[in-house]
Chain A
Amino acid sequence: MTMSWTWLHKLGSPKWFYEISGRWLSWLAWAAALLIGIGIAWGLAFAPADYQQGNSFRIIYIHVPAAFLAQSIYVMLAVAGVVGLVWKMKLADVALQQAAPIGAWMCFVALLTGAIWGKPTWGAWWVWDARLTSMLILLFLYFGIIALGQAIGNRDSAAKACAVLAIVGVVNIPIIKYSVEWWNTLHQTATFKLTEKPAMPVEMWLPLLVLVIGFYCFFAVVLLLRMRLEVLKRESRSAWARTEVAALVERRS
C-alpha cells in the first residue's frame, strides 16, 4: 500500500513540479493562444446569429467558458484543500492560493458579460435570480479565500483556514449548477449536457467548445506561471531554487 502513494509525494515535490511544469508551459500557452484566437474569430464573425437574440448571443462565447472555469476552479480549490489537509502536501496550498485569484477574475468576467448580455436580452443588467445570486456568492467566496490567505501571517494556519473555507464553500457549486432547474429562474438552462445533444446547431456550439477548451488551457498556463514563482519564493533556501534563480538572473543581465 505504501508503494502506491509514492507518485503523490513525487507530485508534491516542489522541485519535480518546477521541472515538469517548465516543460508543459510553452505547449499549453500555444494551445491556449490558438484555441482562444480561433474560437473568438469563429464565434464573432462566422457563427450564425441567433434567430431570437440576434448578435448579442455571441457574448455566450466568453460568458460560458468563464462561468465554467469559475466553477471548476472552485472545485479545484476544494480538492487542493482536501489534499493539503489529509496528506499535508505543501504544493496543494500553493495551488489553492494561486488558483483563487484566477477563479475570482473568471467569476467577475462571467457576471459582467452576463449583465451586458442581460440588458438587450432581458431588459435588465441584473435580476436577483437564483443563478445570478449563487454566482455572486461564488465571487464573495473567492474574495474570502484570498483575504484569509493574506490576513493570516503563519503559512500553515493560513493554508488550513483557506482549505476549510474552500471545502465548506463547495456546497455552493451544486446550487449554482441546479439553480436553473430547482427554481424558476430567468437564466436559461444548461447549454451543454453530457447526456444529451446540444439544442444548438453544430456551427453554433463548435466554436463554444473550442473556446471552453481554450479557456481551460489558459487557466493552466496562468496557474503554472503563478505557482512556479510562488514555489521559487517558498523554496528560496533550498539549493535547487538558488541555482535556478541564479541562472535566471544571469540570463536576464
Chain B
Amino acid sequence: MSFSSFAEFLAMGRHGLYVWSSFGITLVVLALNVALPLLARRRYLQEEARRMRREEMQ
C-alpha cells in the first residue's frame, strides 16, 4: 500500500480531483462501450421477434 489511510488515498496528495476524474471518466467510457452494443443487440432481437410474430399471423 502506498497510502497510510483511506483519506490520504482519496486525496492523492494534491491531485485527487485530477486522478479520480480521469479514472471516473475512463470507466464511464469503458462501460458505455460494452453497454451500447449489448443494447443494440437487444433492440435488434426485439425487432426480429416482432417481425417473426407478424409473419406467423399471416
Q: Which A residues are closer than 8 A to B by beta carbons?
A: 36, 40, 44-49, 54-56, 58-59, 62-63, 66, 102, 105, 108-109, 112-113, 116-117, 119-120, 218, 221-222, 225-226, 229, 232-233, 245-246, 248-249, 252-253
B: interface residue count bin? 20 to 34
Pick the contact of B45: A40, A105, A248 (CB < 8 A): A248
Pick the contact of A252: B12, B13, B45 (CB < 8 A): B45
The smallest C-beta distance from A146 to any residue of chain B, in angstroms, reads: 13
Q: Are A45 and B3 in contact (CB under 8 A)?
A: yes
Q: Are A105 and B29 in contact (CB under 8 A)?
A: yes
The interface centre, meaning the residue of A46, A222, A252 with most chain B CB atoms within 10 A of its CB, is A222
Main secondary structure of the interface of B (DSSP, over half): helix
Set of chain A residues within 8 Å of B2, measured between Cβ atoms? 45-49
Q: Are A245 and B37 in contact (CB under 8 A)?
A: no
Main secondary structure of the interface of A (DSSP, over half): helix
User: Could you tell me which residues of chain B, from 2 to 58, have a CB within 8 Å of some CB in chain A?
Assistant: 2-3, 9, 12-16, 18-19, 21-23, 25-26, 29-30, 32-34, 37-38, 40-41, 44-45, 48-49, 52
A63 to B21, alpha carbons, bound, how many Å?
Answer: 13
**CB closest chain-B residue, reference A59:** B22
Set of chain B residues within 8 Å of A54, measured between Cβ atoms? 12-15
The smallest C-beta distance from A120 to any residue of chain B, in angstroms, reads: 5
Q: Are A233 and B49 in contact (CB under 8 A)?
A: no
